[in-house]
A = this chain, B = another copy of it.
Amino acid sequence: MAQQGGRQGVVHGTVAAGYEAVRGEFEAAVASEPADHSAQLAAYVHGERVVDLWTGPDTDGDTLFAVYSSTKGAAFLATALLLQDGVLDPDRAVADYWPEFGAAGKAAVTLRQLLSHQAGVIGLADGRFSTAELADDAVLAARLAGQPPFWQPGAAFGYHALVIGALVGEVVRRATGQRLAEVYEERIRAPYEIDLFLGLPEEHEHRFRTSLPMQPTPRQQAALDALPRGPHSLASIAFNRPSDLVEWPNHRKVRALGQASGGGVGSARGLARMYAAAGSDVDGLPPLLKPETLAEVARAHSVGRDLVTGIHQAFALGFQAICHTQYPYLGAGTFGHDGAAGSQAFADPRDGFSYAYTRRRHAFPGGPAPENERLVRAVHRAVTGAV
């Protein structure tokens, strides 16, 4: 397939009047990347798309990437609807919905604690999940239910990187009979026409571009190599090491299942539209969440040094509350989720905008790519006039 539009590093797409500086910042970010860099940037303000940019070979605004943990945004937005409906009560014990989960010292763990990464059920105590198992939330939930927690539930928190969607999803399944991906599809993706899939239909496969591995510089590689690794460390358990997470979404089966922690496939357009719909009218459709739901699911429940990643982190009800960490200038109540290839996506309802950035090749050092710092700031400036 040929590049749509030509030379390397060229930026395509449009911005609304007043957002020219965002385009400039995106161009500058692209210029410092290798020639094959593929990425997308989108933003909505009060329900209108104001930024719609992309770059890279075989890439346009409709291209779909593996968004890894940015998938969680979709999963927890669906969960928020069930909280809003009263179908789920965050202060009930998980074991009330899912009795098997109550084993081994977890009987009192609430759904609120589970959603905010306090439960301590981060991965397999013995062995590792296979690529196929890792794609199937039902398998993950069944294998994890009976395990003791890796820390005292409620006393600390740590990123349940690959399994939080399975655990919350099992609660959803017990309460509703539906998979989390089905709730998302029926109530969010289909009616709002959002280009982010938990379970990619065959007919959209032609728009998917495989995930590509990080290309660290020698200095970056040395930094990665210097990190001491252990086969049974908390991080190895949480990230199911050793397993090739770069190749994982490149399997059709993984994409088909739409695992709720990281199996989603979408575009920046899709992510930005989803977060716009969370709290704003979009194309005449009403906001998904009422203000009080928005306030509750977005507020920080777990703040501090994450036991798994070792970094300063803030989790709301499933979402990352990034206004308490990387982006203190964003509006209070900003919520979203980054992803392992470098994506970042969030809603800032108080400032009235949503942001999404995706990229194809994994960025050093993992998690939100460094270029998000300049891009988020540029969008925020354009929206608010802040300096």
- A interface, CB within 8 angstroms of B: 104-105, 116, 120, 148-152, 155-156, 228-235, 237, 292, 295-296, 299-305, 307, 310, 312, 323-324, 328-333, 348, 350-351, 377, 380, 384, 386-387
The answer on a CB contact under 8 Å between A304 and B307 is no
Contact, CB under 8 Å: B300 / A155: yes
Number of copies of this chain that the complex holds: 3
Q: What residues of chain B lie closer than 8 Å to A300, measured between beta carbons?
A: 151-152, 155-156, 307
Q: Across the interface, do B234 and A323 meet the contact criterion of CB distance under 8 Å?
A: yes
Tell me whether A233 and B303 are in contact (CB under 8 A).
no
Interface of A is mostly: loop
Give the CA-CA distance A75 to B170 in the complex, in Å.
41
16 residue pairs of the A-B complex, CB under 8 angstroms, read A116-B155, A148-B299, A151-B301, A152-B300, A228-B328, A228-B329, A229-B329, A230-B351, A230-B384, A231-B331, A233-B323, A233-B330, A234-B332, A300-B307, A304-B304, A305-B312
A295→B125 CA distance, assembly (Å): 10
Alpha-carbon distance A348/B234, docked complex (angstroms): 12
What is the bound-complex CA distance between A69 and B199, given in angstroms? 54
Which residues of B sit under 8 angstroms from A310, Cβ to Cβ?
Answer: 328
B303 touches A307 (CB 8 A): yes
Contact partner, A307, options B152, B305, B324, B331, Cβ 8 Å: B324
Contact B230 A330 (CB under 8 A): yes
Contact between chains at A230 and B380 (CB < 8 Å) = yes
Q: Could you tell me the distance in whole angstroms from the C-beta of A226 to the nearest C-beta in chain B? A: 10
Query: Which residue of B150, B230, B333 is within 8 Å of A299 (Cβ)?
Result: B150
If A229-B329, A231-B351, A310-B328 are given as contacts, then 20 extra A-B residue pairs at C-beta distance below 8 Å, sorted by A number, are A105-B292, A116-B152, A120-B299, A148-B296, A148-B299, A150-B333, A151-B299, A152-B301, A155-B300, A156-B300, A229-B387, A230-B329, A230-B380, A231-B384, A232-B350, A232-B384, A233-B323, A233-B328, A300-B307, A304-B304
Q: How far is the CA of A228 from the CA of B330 in the complex (A)?
A: 9
Q: Which residue of B lies closest to A234 (CB)?
A: B332
Chain B residues whose CB sits within 8 angstroms of the CB of A150 once the complex forms: 299, 332-333
Enumerate chain B residues within 8 angstroms of A230, measured Cβ to Cβ: 328-331, 351, 380, 384, 386
Ranked nearest first, the 3 interchain pairs of A and B with the lowest CB-CB distance are A230-B329, A232-B331, A232-B350
Chain B residues within an 8 Å CB radius of A387? 229
Residue of B nearest to A324 (CB): B307
Taking the closest CB of chain B, its distance from the CB of A65, in whole angstroms, is 28
For A330, what are the chain B residues with a Cβ–Cβ distance below 8 Å?
A: 230, 232-233
